[in-house]
Chains A and B, each alone.
Chain A
Amino acid sequence: MTFEEKYREYMETVRPDPALLEKTRALMAAELNKKMPRQEAEPEMQPAVQKPAEKQPAERKETKLRAVEGKKTKPAPRRSKKNQSRWWGYAGVAIAASLLTAVVLTGANRFLQRKGEAKNAVVTGGGMLMSSAAEAEFDETAQADMAETNELEYADIQIYYVEDGKIVGESQYMECSVDKIVDVWAMKNDIHDLAVNAVEFQDEGNAIGIHVDVSATIVDQLDEKGLKIQALTRTLSEYLNADSVSITAEGVLLG
């Protein structure tokens, strides 16, 4: 017997219970019953439905009068009163919440300042209470974390100015992550900002150079992406029309 035949033979035994069919029939009937009054109006309901029709002539008259007076006749907005009141409710809650937050923050600031223990206390919007000392400590930790991250992967780019073969000045370092190096266009924009002075310097007939110092990990990461830091640096030097380029990996000369 093939699998298909076996499967079909097996599926023949899988059938819905007669009790399930009955239950489903009852459910469907109940659902249809629920739908019926909406779709088909009962005869007793008809007078109630006709009532608005009686009002129509009066409404039309009013509209005509308005038209004669030269007023614009706009249809009434379709927003239901229930819906309107719900939106007013939301707006009310939002305003109350923001007022309460402002009051609490102001109160907390005043309380701390009066207490005198924490001068320049800061109450942040997130509800975090910090004295200036705690805030400084927090900043230090964050910076240390950032430094640790940067130690792993960075590329520092610096432009230096050469006059008569001597370095006469240098720009600040620009720190780049792998992503930025890969996105050469973003890097070019940044390096152009860094080299605004360099352009003027070049116009006066002087030379500029680019120095790139990279971490060893970034070289590996770029290798994985099929990129060479040398090629990228060359692109940058062409972009700035630099006279010399040097690349070091954690201080060791690469090229």
Chain B
Amino acid sequence: MQDILQSAGLNADAVLARNADTVYRLAYSRTHKRQDAEDIFQEVFLRYVRNAPKFETLEHERAWMIHVTLNCIRSYYTSAEQRHAVSVETFPTQQSTYRSDDDFELLLLSLPEDYRLEMHLFYGEQMSIRQIAQETGRTENAVRVRLNRARNMLKASMKGDDFQ
């Protein structure tokens, strides 16, 4: 299997190892459900194998991965299966989330789904507002406003904690 993954000039194994955390965290930040994040994760790497893109730098590779993950998230949520699905989980469970007993996870879950993604790109992936705007197809101002709103929502919930 290793041979196959390293063949055709793809070096798929190394790409998977380098980007697994980034892709998974991005998917999880939007879904906050393990199973959904895993589906998106697998779809991203399958797309990588199918398209076999040639990356010039590691930064290029990371940008491609983030871009495709966002596309996969979008198509996952617009798929017929998702549109017709009725969630039975009103609250997160230990099985579906990480640290569901943790206040911080619940705090992030209180944010609207779209805001979570932008918060992750900004705080988790350290992307600039311009980069987030390019990736999400919004204007820089819109991203700034949404980040600000998300921060205010969190600020209201995190009473007494340090917040910057």
Determine the chain A residues whose CB is within 8 A of the CB of B46 once the complex forms: 27-28, 31
Q: Is the CB of A14 within 8 A of B4?
A: no
Q: Is the CB–CB distance between A3 and B163 below 8 Å?
A: yes
B162: A residues at CB distance < 8 A = 1-3
| B64 lies within 8 A of chain A by Cβ | no
Contacts of B8 in A (CB 8 A): 32, 35-36, 39
A4 to B164, CA, bound (A): 8
Bound Cα distance from A159 to B162, whole angstroms: 76
B123: min CB distance to chain A, Å: 5
Number of B interface residues in the complex (CB < 8 A): 40
Chain B at the A interface: SS class: helix
Q: CB distance A32 to B16 under 8 Å?
A: no
Q: Which partner residue on chain A sits nearest B10 by CB separation?
A: A32
Contact segment of B18-26, B67-75, B85-93, B132-140: B18-26
- In the complex, the answer to whether B99 meets A28 with C-beta atoms within 8 Å is no
Report yes or no: B154 in contact with A3, Cβ–Cβ below 8 A: yes
Interface hits, A180-207 → B, CB 8 Å = none
Inter-chain contacts of A20 with B (CB < 8 A): 24, 38, 41-42
Say yes or no: is B55 at the interface (Cβ < 8 Å to chain A): no
Residues of A near B161 (CB, < 8 A) are 1
On whether the beta carbons of A14 and B7 are closer than 8 Å, the reply is no
Residues of chain B whose beta carbon lies under 8 Å from any beta carbon of chain A: 1, 4-5, 7-8, 10, 12-13, 16, 20-21, 24-25, 28-29, 38, 41-42, 45-46, 48-50, 98-99, 102, 104-105, 108, 119-120, 123-124, 151, 154, 158, 161-164
User: Which positions in A face B, CB cutoff 8 Å?
Assistant: 1-4, 6-8, 10-11, 13-17, 20-21, 23-29, 31-33, 35-36, 39
